[in-house]
Amino acid sequence: MKKEGEVDYYCLKKNCAIRQKRQLEFFVSKNAFDIDGLGPKILEQLIETGLVEDPTDIFLLKEGDLQPLERFAEKSAENIVEAIEKSKEIPLERFLYALGIRHVGGQTAVDIAEQFGTIESVLKLKKEDLDQLYGIGEAVGNSFEEYFSNKKNLEMIEKLRHLGVKIKPFHSPVRVKKLGGKSFVVTGSLESMPRDDAQKKIVQFGGKVHSSITSKTDYLIVGEEPGSKLDKAKRLGTKIISEKEFLKMIK
């Protein structure tokens, strides 16, 4: 069934056949592992013959497994095996998207990958790490916590890596040069741009945006009519900078 307000197909019965097929279709789709040739009909045959039960089985397929399938030529089998091999090197953001975590769409996967950089960092994430990120809602944090606290999901990720899947760190040419992973909070109205644009620029230049001040916050950018965040930043000793100082940092 499709829950109200959600785009992706979701089956409440955890192991239902429809969910299994949809999960695999999603996993091999263009914005995920992008395995050319593994369409719905072929996946259906692979499931029916027991060759594929979960995503890890895809990386065990050989040409000899595929050739006996209905309407399958030798060349087609060769092409699919080559496509599977090619897909093993995947950027972190597409890997996160491919996992099919509820509420984690393509842009959210990019945002998380950009903020945390590597699969190792993502695996260490706690719900509160995501809750504080700008643009990441509570639903995403809850889904992440549920997914990565499931032992079977962690085993699947480990098996994928064991089978040769290389999850490439998020690549941003300007990340190290500019804000280098520093955390920012913005308060008040800015003169040169809307606050949302400033937050996007922070992420663009490799920084992290949080919605509230903590002892781990590196900078508070202060505009006109700042809120209570300014007082808290002063109490915690957070570095307070103006809009002009921020613009100099990313110039």
The fold of 17-87 is DNA polymerase; domain 1 (1.10.150)
- Comparing CA positions, the residue from 66, 64, 15 lying closest to residue 42 is 66
The dotted CATH code for 183-249 is: 3.40.50.10190
Instruction: Give the whole-angstrom CA distance, residue 159 versus residue 97.
Output: 18
Q: Is the dihedral of CA 24, 26, 27, 29 positive or negative?
A: positive
Residue 91's beta-bridge partner residues? 168
Contact status, residue 145 vs residue 122, Cβ threshold 8 Å? no
Q: Determine the Cα–Cα distance for residues 220 and 206; give it in Å rounded to an integer.
A: 16
Report how far residue 251's alpha carbon sits from residue 242's, in angstroms, rounded to the nearest whole number.
Answer: 14
End-to-end CA distance of the chain: 49
CB 103 within 8 A of CB 141: no
Residue 54 buriedness (CB in 10 A; 0-12 / 13-18 / 19+): middle
- Which residue has better confidence, 1 or 133? 133
Q: What is the pTM of this model?
A: 0.71
Q: What pLDDT was estimated at residue 15?
A: 58
Residue with tokens 């829950």: 3
Chain CA centroid to CA 233, Å: 30
Q: Please provide the average confidence, as pLDDT, over all residues in the chain.
A: 88
Length of the chain: 251
% of the chain at pLDDT higher than 70: 90
Res 181 pLDDT > 90: no
SS3 90: strand
| Residues of each domain in the chain carrying CATH 1.10.150.20 | 17-87, 91-168
pLDDT-based confidence at residue 2 (cuts at 50, 70, 90):
very low
> Domain 91-168 class?
mainly alpha
The kind and range of the H/E element at 142 are helix 138-148
Residue 11 has pLDDT above 80, yes or no: no
Average pLDDT of 7-25?
70
